[in-house]
Structure 1
Amino acid sequence: MSEAWEKAERALSDTFGFSGFLPGQEPAIRAILEGHDALVVMPTGGGKSMCYQLPALVRDGLTVVVSPLIALMKDQVDALVARGVRATAINSTLAETEMAARLAAMGRGDYRLVYIAPERFRSERFVRALAPVRIGLFALDEAHCISQWGHDFRPDYLRIREALASFGRPQIVALTATATPDVRGDITAQLGLGVDGRSPPRVFVSGFARPNLVLGVRRVGGREDKLAFIHAAAGKLGAGIVYCATRKNVERVAGELGPEAIAYHGGMADGDRKTAQETFMKAARPLVVATNAFGMGIDRPDLRFVIHHDIPGSLEAYYQEAGRAGRDGATAFCDLLFNYADVRTQEFFLDGANPSPDTIRGVYAVLAAKCAHAPAELAAKDIAGRLPDKVNDMAVSTAIVVLERAGVIRRTYGQDSRVAAFDVTRPAVMAKDLPLDFAALLRKRRRDEQRLARMVAYAGPGRCRHRFILDYFGDTTSDPSCSSCDTCSGRSAPPRPVLPEFARVSAPRAAPSAPEPAPDPEDEGPFDERVFAALKAWRQRTASAHGRLPAYCVYTDRTLRDLARRLPADAAALGRVHGVGPAKLARFGAETLDIVRAHRPA
């Protein structure tokens, strides 16, 4: 173990350029290197990915990372490759020839890490290709997606346990930013952690205290106040994300904010989403208006604000999204624009995520009739149209998941793993005799209602917002002291005049003021602005020259500040700068030193 740990510490410095671990990382990585299954719960920005990336460089065998979003894979693979790590991704965007080439390279042992989407487990061909590969570690990112109690349950995650048996049941690490105790228990059960003679998994819950995030709730009267606040924040603070509850709100808010706002939601074409993602990663001060489809796994560390235009359905969702701000350690602002009328939208979603027993039975009856002789392709809206009562498509989709999980229907997929046909498990049963635990489904609804109630309670006055979050997630390791929420700091600013740009829609009322930027706590002293500006311009040119490489993969803003502060004169001094390891020293060192020498004070 000591030898493995020494290798890990060297890799942390040499490959990633870090001199130490973030809170909670070291004990989790030690447990993984010792061979234990682990469940790691850290908030967004807490450094979860290091818990499997570092062991992947030390341990023998391939590390397989299951990741739910293609954008997440791309960003992490790009960052690893930029550091000299052999990594790749396998997902539905690849052409058949490229897919075959990567599978063959994986079989030869050419990669240390391979990122895959959970949808890959629909493909028997893929499972067969992976079966003979020696897997040293199986990492399940966004592990709350496997839990029926989680806020983002995804049926494809249920295929993972069966696939693990085909791979010889390798060591597992499950990682999530949003697991309450109930969800943690369900993740453990769904993955079979601690069964078949294995010791119980090591569970690590830490890092939920993010004192650099200034948390606030702004009571607003309506959309005019919201737009004025967002516009003011974007003008003052820099790069940020505005989250909306619906696609309709995304398009409306982005349109009203003007051409600089980037819209993103799951209903957009793949190409449009990809363009939005790349613009967000490369622009100096992007403003993205999005649903929760945007941001999972996004690794842009310099976001200065996250604003929730609408209240989310749970604190899990809220803190995961808010936590995307300030990942560089500098001050960032997270504001919830709260109006009780917005709660009704979440109540609608709650109904869709928890269909009634009659709806579930009705969906089964439709499928049993349609699939009596052969599998049939049916969209949720087609099924909804055949039900006796009006039911929204979301409730139908959820009912299908419930039936599939119970084993009474199944989906079959074509060659591309995207087109699904439904079939009924034989022998079919009467709808009234479905083997479903409706009491458990009712308990799930009650839990969802409680989660929404806690989210609304968070928006209320009188309690420290950081302490509220720590208590909710059961984080007993973090320091509860707070000076960075509106309750504890008194950041309830007086109303300010409405900005002229919004006078035409909101002149009768005053808008809540946007937060003022705060000093960067990571700055240990002043830095040379001229050198910093030159380095930033060079970084953008370098990233563009490398195709679609995000600028932060060259150097983060924190590294640029440290460079402009230290003004290294040689390679040895450059290697001591935060975020500069041997890989980046070899790749960018000479150019970096040239920029510093050319622009440093005489």
Structure 2
Amino acid sequence: MSSFSTSSYHNSTEEQALHLLQTVFGYPAFRSQQGQIVEHVVHGGDALVLMPTGGGKSLCYQIPALIRKGVGIVVSPLIALMQDQVDALAEVGVRAAFLNSTQTFEEILNVEKKMREGDLDLVYIAPERLLTQRCLELLNIIDIALFAIDEAHCVSQWGHDFRPEYIRLSALHERFPHVPRIALTATADQQTRDEIIHRLQLENALQFVSSFDRPNIRYQIVEKANGRKQLLDFIHAQHTGDAGIVYCLSRKKVEETAEFLNENGITSLPYHAGMDMQERSRNQARFLREDGIVMCATIAFGMGIDKPDVRFVAHLDLPKSVEGYYQETGRAGRDGASANAWMAYGLQDVVQQRRMIDESEANDTFKRVQGVKLDAMLSLCETLNCRRVHILDYFGQASEPCGNCDTCLSPPTSFDGSVAAQKILSTIYRVDQRFAAGHVIDILRGIDTERVTQWRHDQLSTYGIGSDKSEAEWRALLRQLIALGLVAVDYENFSSLKLTEASRAVLRGETKVQLRQYKKAEKAVKHKRQSAKDYAEAELSMAEQTLFDKLRWWRVETARTHNVPAYVIFPDATLREIARQAPPTLIALRAISGVGDKKLESYGAEILQLIEELQTS
């Protein structure tokens, strides 16, 4: 039985679970569907849990593992983060360990011994290690409380984070049919959900789907002009000194962007799969353990990142899918305070992503699925309506306009773009569908380049008919036509533009085209942070702010001593509440969310002393 068994104090599972939530983790009540999930798994039921990042997924398996007999086995692909996850549990008094390739043989033997002797509540294991003969034989002889399959979307071959070893996890049900399994993810459309159920044999599992809404995140997509400079302006205007993540498509761009930010006074680190593993781990550790660092990364970085105070996630390149975008932006604002999801997006992004799909070595079915996912992402970028409504609709959830995204705060205008579309399509037709975007736009604008003259394209009837618009405007319009499937790009022939079957009806005037009015890229404006309803961040008074700053400095030193990330000691939200209430006693401190029994015992006296020192100074 777990060392946290509460059967002697309470009769019902519900009471046991709530007791652990309050005394171990320091939270007063379960959120959303957490309580139902915990009860279901404690009683041996299988579950598929879809809950947004920051929604408290980990408690859904941690608490059942503490109540049920045996050790909870957590399958996680996140080797680099297992140490921090185990450290966080140790801080609240949970006996946790991990098994992965970073350990010495002696360390592995020690963990295995503790598992056999029943001295662990939770063990994190990478999927490839879990399925080795050695590990399976160990699991055969111990009591297992449950299997938690984290990041379950990794099982989807159509997804953005596919891990081949996840498909083999169906073996868990076959080998251990009486052990409950809980699969968890923050991102899964219906197709991915169906694949998780099928591949993990969860046909009889209850599905718990929470709202995908993250109301504290403000979504903003801007017209790309000079992406790097726009990013710098955005950070200076809204996130000076904040922790953030910047996603780039290529390794080279990651390194160049990190260097650019450092040159402009913003502490930044690179992270991509081509780096030395030690350097990558070192940069990740710094990002997690220090305040105010901006991580520039490819999508190799981020899954499972628990840092609660990431204030912004920026994209300098278009993500491949809405799932990828949602998961990456979801790493901001895990603490519930206001955060930004910012993206710079332009014509080249569309061309580049379509080329990557066409040139991949995948089969036609996979390419078709990826094309559909990209179309959905483009639709989000080009929408005239609320971005949050668009995202939630993608995941099958209805909602109302949020009032906290760029299209709500500054509604875009649309216009009948049929004539503009005809001008572009006619020019593509008249150059025999053999030239790329830049040349077509030069003809429209009547620009006498050497190539235009050489090919005598200044003699065309469409030459100069678009001189009333800038190059940026025509690029924005062309991007929308590509997104709408009215123009195709032939990547095998110098990215030449082609007409599609759908474009013919527009040329003949049979179909109207509604387009988004071009809006020149504006310099980021500094504004007061604004959270959505239920996430309003009350201002601290001067005295409260002084205490909050003091508590953060204390936390930095304490975390350094314990060799853990600062948020593992206490997240900002808990420190902010302590600063507001300035609790005079241990009982009052214990009543604050995030302060459990173990943390009260470890840090209570120090915190009360800090409060007293400030009040008497």
Q: Is the 8 A contact 1:24 1:207 kept in 2?
A: no
| Structure-1 separation of matches of 2:548 and 2:92 | 22
State the partner residue of 1:21: 30
**1:255-404 equivalences in 2 (<5 Å):** 255-258=259-262, 260-351=267-358, 355-356=362-363
Q: Does 1:594 align with 2:514?
A: no
Return closer, same or farther for 1:474/1:461 CA change in 2, 3 Å cut-off.
Answer: closer
Mapped pair 1:488 → 2:497? no
Structure 1 residue 204, shift from structure 2 partner: 1.4
Change (3 A) 1:338 1:510: closer
Amino acid corresponding to residue 482 of structure 1 in structure 2:
C
Counting only pairs closer than 5 Å after superposition, residues 473-484 of structure 1 correspond to structure 2 as: 473-476=395-398, 480-484=400-404
What do residues 425-447 of structure 1 show as CA deviations (whole Å, max 9, x unaligned)?
xxxxxxxxxxxxxxxxx433322
Q: What is residue 65 of structure 1 aligned with on the other side?
A: 74
Give the match's secondary structure for 2:147.
strand
Which stretch shifts more, 322-331 or 25-34? Answer: 25-34
Q: 1:466 to 1:443 in 2, by over 3 A?
A: same
- What whole-Å deviation, never above 9, does each CA across 1:454-500 have from its counterpart, x for those lacking one? 00110114111111111111235xx53512111112288xxxxxxxx
Report the secondary structure of 1:245's partner residue.
coil
Distance in 1, Cα, partners of 2:103 & 2:584: 44
Q: Is contact 2:238–2:527 with CA below 8 Å preserved after alignment?
A: no
Which of 519, 522, 529 is 2:545 aligned to?
A: 529
Structure 1 residue 208 displacement after superposition: 1.0
Is the Cα contact below 8 Å between 1:130 and 1:167 reproduced in 2?
A: no
Matches within 5 A, 1:22-421: 22-168=31-177, 170-194=179-203, 200-232=204-236, 235-236=239-240, 238-258=242-262, 260-351=267-358, 355-356=362-363
Structure 1: runs of 5+ lacking an equivalent = 195-199, 357-441, 493-508
- 3-state SS in 1 of match to 2:342: strand
Q: Which residue identity lines up with residue 550 of structure 2 in the other structure? A: A
Contact preservation (8 Å) 2:216, 2:337: yes
Question: Identity across aligned pairs (percent)?
Answer: 41
Deviation per CA, 1:365-389: give whole Å up to 9, x if none.
Answer: xxxxxxxxxxxxxxxxxxxxxxxxx
Contact 1:227 1:253 in 2 (8 A): no
1:600 and 1:215 map into 2 onto residues whose CA distance is: 41
Match of 1:576 among 591, 597, 604: 591
- State the distance in 2 between where 1:583 and 1:318 align: 37
SS of 1:459 mapped into structure 2: helix
- TM-score scaled to structure 2, two decimals? 0.76
2:504 match: none
* Shift, 1:164, TM fit: 4.1
**1:20 Cα deviation (Å)?**
2.0
Aligned residue type for 1:449:
G
Q: For the structure 1 residues 278 and 75, does the alpha-carbon distance in structure 2 shift closer, same or farther, using more than 3 Å as the test? A: same
Verify the 8 A CA contact 2:96 2:122 in the aligned structure 1: yes
- 1 CA distance for matches of 2:573 and 2:104? 37
Conserved in 2, the CA contact under 8 Å of 1:531 and 1:596? yes
Question: Equivalents in 2 of 1:161, 1:592: separation in Å?
Answer: 48
Report the Cα offset of residue 14 of structure 1. 0.8
Q: 1:353 to 1:59 in 2, by over 3 A?
A: farther
Deviation at 1:512, TM superposition (A): 3.3
CA distance in structure 1 between the aligned counterparts of 2:558 and 2:143, rounded to whole angstroms: 37
Range moving further from structure 2, 122-131 or 58-67? 122-131
Offset at 1:348?
4.2
**Are 2:524 and 1:513 equivalent residues in the alignment?**
yes
Q: Equivalent residue of 2:102, what SS? A: coil
Question: In structure 2, how many angstroms separate the alpha carbons of the residues matched to 1:126 and 1:133?
Answer: 11
Look up the SS of the partner of 2:48 in the other structure: strand
**Structure 2 counterpart of 1:201, which letter?**
A
Secondary structure of 1:185's partner?
A: helix
Instruction: Assess if the C-alpha contact under 8 Å between 1:52 and 1:173 holds in 2.
Output: yes
CA distance in 2, matches of 1:511, 1:24: 42
Q: Match of 1:431?
A: none
Distance 1:190 1:228 in 2: 44
| Post-superposition CA distance 1:315-341 (Å, at most 9, x none) | 111010101111111110111111121
Distance 2:155 2:212 in 1: 21
**Which of residues 377, 380, 394 is equivalent to 1:472?**
394
SS at match of 1:334: strand
1:217–1:459 Cα contact (<8 Å) kept = yes
| Bigger Rg over Cα | 2
Q: What whole-Å deviation, never above 9, does each CA across 1:195-222 have from its counterpart, x for those lacking one?
A: xxxxx21111113111110111111124
Equivalent position amino acid for 1:529 in 2: Q
Q: How many Å separate the matches in 1 of 2:573 and 2:16?
A: 26
Partner of 1:391: none
Distance 2:547 2:192 in 1: 48
CA offset at residue 53 of structure 1? 1.1
Cα deviation digits, residues 505-559 of structure 1 (max 9, x gap) = xxxx975315634156454563411211111111111011112x11111111111
Q: Which moved more, 1:128-137 or 1:184-193?
A: 128-137
Answer with 83-92 or 167-176: which moved more.
Answer: 167-176
TM-score under structure 1 length normalisation: 0.78
TM superposition shift of 1:148: 1.7
Q: Which amino acid aligns with 1:283?
A: E
* AA of the residue aligned to 1:559: T
* Structure 1 residue identity aligned to 2:254: V
CA contact (8 A) 1:228 1:511 kept: no
Separation (CA, whole Å) in 1 of partners of 2:317 and 2:607: 43
Are the aligned partners of 1:229 and 1:511 in contact in 2 as well (CA < 8 Å)? no
C-alpha contact 1:543 1:551 (8 A) present in aligned 2: yes
Q: Which amino acid aligns with 2:39?
A: R
Corresponding residue for residue 539 of structure 1: 555
Question: Could you tell me whether the CA contact under 8 Å between 1:56 and 1:137 is conserved in 2?
Answer: yes
Q: Is contact 2:65–2:72 with CA below 8 Å preserved after alignment? A: yes
Contact in 1 for aligned 2:245/2:296 (Cα 8 Å): yes
Using the TM superposition, give the Cα deviation of residue 257 of structure 1 relative to its aligned residue in structure 2, in angstroms: 1.4
C-alpha RMSD of matched pairs (Å): 2.2
Distance in 2 (alpha carbons) for counterparts of 1:177 and 1:312: 17
Equivalenced residue count is 494
Aligned pair partner of 2:565 in 550, 553, 556: 550
How far has the Cα of 1:231 moved from its partner?
A: 4.5
- Structure 2 residue runs of 5 or longer lacking an equivalent are 1-9, 413-519
Structure 1 residue 459 corresponds to structure 2 residue 468? no
Q: 1:514 to 1:70 in 2, by over 3 A?
A: farther
How far apart are the structure 2 equivalents of 1:185 and 1:459? Answer: 27
